[in-house]
Amino acid sequence: MTAELISGTEISKAILEEIKQEVNEMKDKTGKVPGLVTILVGENPASISYVTLKVRTALNLGFNEIQDNQPEDISQEDLLALIDKYNNDPEINGILVQLPLPKHIDDKKVLNAIDPDKDVDAFHPVNVGRLMIGGDEVRFLPCTPAGIQELIVRSGTETKGAEVVVVGRSNIVGKPIAMMMAQKGVGANSTVTIVHTGTQDLATHCKRADILVVAAGVPNLVKPEWIKPGSTVIDVGVNRIGKNEKTGKAILRGDVDFAKAKEIAGKITPVPGGVGPMTICMLMRNTLRSAQRSM
Ligand code: NAD
């Protein structure tokens, strides 16, 4: 059996199209569009390329996008003042501070200064708490876990009562996706297990999973024999395992042995082209929802 491929590239395109339509409707009705500010401190090449992609996507969707670049030596006080300015700007619905920040700045302090109602990355402790409570309390879902849940739902995977095993317990992927899948409601209502570096027998847990979400950052951690036949496998890992000599581009692999796993799983995400494209898409949707709420 060969698994059905869950293409994040295709699904994210469809979602971006849906967002674009909603932006057009908002513009027709209210004359307004969602406003997103991306704050980039310094000139870290990886950060520049991430921000450029976010800015380009926001502009393509018709957002009011402000790219606010600040010098590497900006003081923490000035950065906090900048965030305060955008917190109080009614035209701005989402504030994104690109990490990492320079060493002299306390990134926790900066992220916690963002108004939780404009925190489209959903890293603020208030939004983490709201996610934990669930239901109507939730304003924003963190972007990568939200993308994972969309892939699960849009691939037609049954989540109610499903055994979900999440490999990894980070604050940005493992913990939030585990909590989201355990909540009541559509696309969730699952029985969730989190496994991590302290787990004694990873294989036994993974073998039970109807839905296996792997976010460890270890290439080929999940062996094909750990995969339950017919299950849905979401591989979040992005590991650079070398360079393509012709193109000079990094060769990327996930945390799952994809070539063999696809012969056992029912549905599986590739790396790249699986979870990756979903994150930015969910950031845009969070900004749109924030704008809709503010109106
Ligand atoms: P992290 O390093 O913060 O956390 C990794 C987690 O995996 C830890 O909780 C650890 O306990 C667990 N783990 C590591 N090795 C393990 C092992 N051998 N056995 C069991 N558990 C193990 O990483 P993260 O930020 O959660 O990211 C995980 C992976 O997902 C990385 O490869 C990262 O690049 C990728 N990622 C991709 C996206 C995206 O595609 N948009 C977004 C975020 C992270």
What does the pLDDT look like over 46-104, one tens digit per residue?
A: 999 999 999 999 999 999 999 999 999 999 999 999 999 999 999 999 999 999 999 99
Q: Is the pLDDT of residue 133 over 70?
A: yes
pLDDT in tens, 3-32: 999 999 999 999 999 999 999 999 999 999
Which of 119, 121, 210, 257 is labelled catalytic? Answer: 121
Residue 98 annotated as catalytic: yes
Taking the centre of ligand 1 as the mean of its atom positions, its distance from the CA of residue 44, in whole angstroms, is 22
| Averaged pLDDT for residues 214-241 | 97
What whole-number distance in Å separates Cα of residue 107 and Cα of residue 136? 29
Close Cβ partners of 80 (under 8 Å, ≥ 6 residues apart): 109, 110, 113
Question: What predicted TM-score, i.e. pTM, was given to this entire model?
Answer: 0.97
Which of 9, 54, 173, 278 best tests ligand 1's pocket when mutated (most atoms within 8 Å of CB)?
Answer: 173
Residues having CB within 6 Å of any atom of ligand 1:
144, 167-170, 172-174, 196-197, 199, 202, 215-218, 221, 236-239, 275-276, 279
Q: Is the pLDDT of residue 232 over 70?
A: yes
Which of 201, 236, 241, 252 best tests ligand 1's pocket when mutated (most atoms within 8 Å of CB)?
Answer: 236
Q: Is the pLDDT of residue 1 over 80?
A: no
Write out the two tokens for 41: 């401190």
Residue 21 annotated as catalytic: no
DSSP-H helix ranges across the chain: 8-30, 45-60, 76-87, 107-113, 125-133, 143-154, 174-182, 202-207, 258-261, 276-294
CA distances from 282 to 1, 81, 94, 146, 247 (A): 32, 27, 12, 7, 30
Per the rule left: phi > 0, alpha: psi between -120 and 50, beta: everything else, 278 is alpha
Taking the centre of ligand 1 as the mean of its atom positions, its distance from the CA of residue 178, in whole angstroms, is 13
Atom of ligand 1 lying closest to residue 274 CA: 40
Residue closest via CA to ligand 1's atom 6 equals 168
Return the number of other C-beta atoms located less than 10 Å from residue 62's C-beta: 15
Residue closest via CA to ligand 1's atom 4 equals 170
Atom of ligand 1 lying closest to residue 173 CA: 26
Atom of ligand 1 lying closest to residue 276 CA: 40
Answer for the pair 285, 144: CB distance below 8 angstroms, yes or no: no
Q: What residue ranges do the domains of the chain occupy?
A: 30-121, 142-275
Atom of ligand 1 lying closest to residue 279 CA: 41
Closest CA to 95 of 133, 54, 59: 54
Average pLDDT along the chain: 97
Q: Which long-range contacts (CB under 8 A, 24 or more apart) does 193-196 make?
A: 193/163, 193/164, 193/165, 193/166, 194/166, 194/168, 194/169, 195/165, 195/166, 195/167, 196/167, 196/168, 196/169
Helix axes 125-133, 174-182, angle to 10 degrees: 30
CATH number for the domain whose boundaries are 30-121: 3.40.50.10860
CATH number for the domain whose boundaries are 142-275: 3.40.50.720
pLDDT above 90 covers a percentage of the chain that reads: 100
